Amino acid sequence: MTNMSAKTNMKDVWLPLAFILALALLAYAGKALQFGFFSDDWYLVFSGLTYGPEKYWDVFIVDRPLRAVLQFVLFSLFDTNVTLYYITALVVRVAGALGVYWMLRLVLKEHKPFGVMAAALFLVYPGFLELPDAMDFMAQQVSMTAMVFSICFSILFVISARRLVVRLGYLALSAGLALVSYLLLEYQVGMEAYRFLFLLYVLWQRKTLLSKNTVLMLTPLLIAPVAFTVWRLFFFSGARANTSLSFVQSGLSGGVFDTLMRLGNTLLIDIAETFMGAFVQPFSALFGRLGAADAFVAVLLGLAAAAVTLALLRWLPGTAATANFAASRGGWLLVGLAFAAGVFCLLVINLASRHVEFLFYNRFSFPSALAVAIVLASIGFSLKNRSVQIAFFSVVIFFSVATHFANNVRFAQEWTDTRRFWQQVVWRIPNVQDWTVLTGDRVAPIYEDYYLWSPLNLLYRPYQGQIALSAEVLNAETAQSIRANIPAEKNRRSLYLMYDFERTLLFTQPTREACLRFINAEQIELSVHDDPLVVSTAPYSSLAQVELEGSADEVLFARLFGEPSAETDWCYFYQKADLARQGGDWEQVAAYGDEAAAAGLIPADAIEWMPFVQAYAYRGEMERAEELAEMIGATPYYRWQACGIFSAKAVTGDAPIDAGNTRLAALFCTDGE
């Protein structure tokens, strides 16, 4: 009997742990070695490399000072090693899931399957999709895990029969971890709803809810949220608008009825998004982008996760009793309390004029993920038919894991596109003049200016301190500033930038297959795929900002993007030829064209033939020039552009060039006869 009991206990311990770890690997390991820097990582990387990790204090003092400590430690340990950030984030995520399991074991001692499944659903909740951006979103992972364990220690503080000093230790751990959580992310204070609602549930179970000692037991747990609230409202002076009290007040400044209607509408939408949409919208948006091979892997991983789930539910003892509990009054009460806590988390976020939106603002669903997991676990176990119950959990886990793999593919592709972009930049630009303003359109998204100016300064002005090269997102407002030459300046998290739009350098890479092109206002060449904003700002792009001598920092390029590509594909020859064209070295342009032709390389977009058709025409190689002119002219828009370019060329006095321009004008300005 003793051996059998020991085996059962070991099974209870190791089976849930193995299940959680297996799900974590299935959901998050795919493409893990193909991630790089994303979104807000870029100003963190720039600050750490340029000024040292102590700069993070200046960066985060404006809103979340504890993040400075976290980033200081992480950058000091990992520097720019993205893989180490990701592994750490995944470990913290798994720890959070195990914390959820522990929490529910404390609340529901006899219902282990409920805790295991809720922890698993929390782990792979498909509404939070930022784990691949491990450097910037480490704060979300640490904050969540700290809060989960804080709640666990608060439950121990209330139910423990140990000595007072031990219970005070639990209280200290609970308060300390809570402060860590919402000092990292202020809106995590909304998760206090879980703490107090779960504690009320525990006291209700123990039939001590109406005891005169209840208030005395719960009051000490208010220390952390009250201390934080007082500090945030009366002592902390933040400079970031949307994390300040005045910003919240401004959002509530309308009439009471209008404000309540607006908040109610946003809250209802966010509830639907978080509890239901998270299992449909991300999968729908991401899976359709996958190629056949990745789609096959996503399905395979989802099926493997479903199989693991099925095995767990068949082997783990106690599922019948858990099913009875889920359908009981106590089970539904727990679900109601968890749902209420999840809604409260969303309300706190809504009060700051933030909302859940897939895929971009998915992070605001994360505090409610615990509620979603408990609700789904309860729904699953309340299904009376055992096979239907297993099928329910298997299907939910399948879609969650498949969604996360598809999301990993998205991030890996974005990093490939970003790395490819900067590889072409350093091929094309030996150096760039101070105060250049870089802007444009590319395949990899550009949501903030530091996506551009951070790597630009690190590659061309490393360790200089002053941000001498600025950049801006190309939008309608930026286009107006460029056209009107309206100077500007910014101070973003203590990082100061100046904008002189007379020095604008415009780029475009409208499709993944196309090469990056830098626009020359003196000879504008536009693709049929170029964004209208690129077209409207093209006359203001100064290629003179590109200097012909120098080179990007190779060591920093390797630290940021890995070793430079040794592959000499079409875009390599295009960038080098375009650089030679800028310097007027037509012989070198033609040589690059000959090399590309010998390698059998051709462009995906015929506009990229332009440097070569000029070079061949200027060198008198008219047979080759006519061949390329025919390929360019096959697109009417390109024929029209080329006609305008070469018929407007001024006489230079250089006979081969003047003859070449005349011949090219004749080729492009005919109707193709």
pLDDT in tens, 435-478: 999 999 999 999 999 999 999 999 999 998 889 999 999 999 99
Angle at the Cα of 178 (from 146 to 198), degrees rounded to 5? 90
Q: What's the CA angle centered on 651, arms 645 and 652, to 5 degrees?
A: 105
Burial 631-661 (b: 16+ CB within 10 A, else e): ebbebeebbebbbebbeeeeeeeeeebeebb
In a 13 Å sphere around the CA of 82, the CA atoms on its Cβ side amount to: 23
- Bridge partner list, 528: none
Query: Cα dist. 647→60, 595, 663 in Å?
Result: 56, 29, 9
Of the candidates 188, 203, 474, 463, the residue with the CA atom closest to the CA atom of residue 345: 188
Mean pLDDT within 549-569: 90
Q: How many CA atoms lie within 13 A of 313 on its CB side?
A: 26
The structure tokens listed for 251 are 């959002």
Phi-psi region of 435 (alpha: psi -120 to 50; beta: other; left: phi over 0): left
Tell me the percentage of the chain whose pLDDT exceeds 90: 79
Sort 351 into a burial class: Cβ within 10 Å, 0-12 / 13-18 / 19+. Answer: middle
Q: Can you tell me the distance from the alpha carbon of 58 to that of 436, in angstroms, rounded to the nearest whole number?
A: 26
Q: What amino acid is encoded at 12 in this protein?
A: D
Average pLDDT, integer, range 519-533: 97
- Each residue's pLDDT tens digit, 251-303: 555 566 777 888 889 999 999 999 999 999 999 999 999 999 999 999 999 99
Within 29-81, residue ranges assigned H as helices are 41-51, 56-60, 65-78
For residue 533, the Cα-to-chain-centroid distance in whole angstroms is: 25
Higher pLDDT, residue 484 or 322: 484
Q: Is the pLDDT of residue 119 over 90?
A: yes
User: Is the pLDDT confidence value at 243 over 60?
Assistant: no
Q: What is the pTM of this model?
A: 0.91
Statement: residue 8 has pLDDT above 50? no
Q: Which of 136, 245, 237 is nearest to 189 (CA)?
A: 245
Q: What's the CA gap between 351 and 361, in Å, rounded?
A: 15
Residue 3 confidence (pLDDT): 47
CB crowding 175-213: b at 16 or more within 10 Å, else e: bebbbbbbbbbbbbbbbbbbbbbbbebbbebeeeeeeee
- Which pLDDT score, from 0 to 100, does residue 251 have? 53
Task: For the chain, state the CA radius of gyration.
Answer: 30
Name the region of 353 (left: φ>0; alpha: ψ -120 to 50; beta: rest).
left
Nearest to 59 by CA among 42, 76, 43: 43
Q: Is the pLDDT of residue 2 over 60?
A: no
Residue 79: CA count within 13 A, CB half-sphere: 6
> What distance in Å separates the CA atoms of residue 220 and residue 342, rounded to the nearest whole number?
23
* Predicted pLDDT of residue 235: 81
CA distances from 541 to 311, 320, 397, 429, 440 (A): 62, 70, 50, 15, 10
| Distance separating alpha carbons of residues 74 and 425, to the nearest angstrom | 29
State how far the Cα of 58 lies from the Cα of 72, in Å rounded to an integer.
11
- The gap from C-alpha 130 to its chain's centroid, in whole angstroms, comes to 5
Q: What is the DSSP letter of 602?
A: -
- Which uninterrupted H or E stretch holds 496? strand 495-499
**Residue pLDDT, tens place only, 583-593:** 999 999 999 99
Mean of all residue pLDDT scores within the chain: 91
CA distance 36 to 637: 37
- Using CA atoms, how far apart are residues 89 and 299, in angstroms rounded to an integer? 25
Extended beta strands in 380-436, E state:
431-432
The average pLDDT across 94-109 equals: 94
DSSP 316: S
Beta strand ranges found along 236-363 (DSSP E): none
What is the mean pLDDT of the segment spanning 392-397?
96
Residues above pLDDT 70, as percent of the chain: 95
Kindly state the average pLDDT of the residues 172-178.
96
Residue 494 tokens read as 């203590």
pLDDT for the residue numbered 246: 55
Query: Can the peptide bond before residue 359 be classed as cis, meaning omega within 30 degrees of 0?
Result: yes
What are the structure tokens assigned to 284, written together? Answer: 């729908």
Does an H or E element contain 615, and which? helix 610-618
Determine the distance from the C-alpha atom of residue 274 to the mean position of all C-alpha atoms in its chain, rounded to a whole number.
18
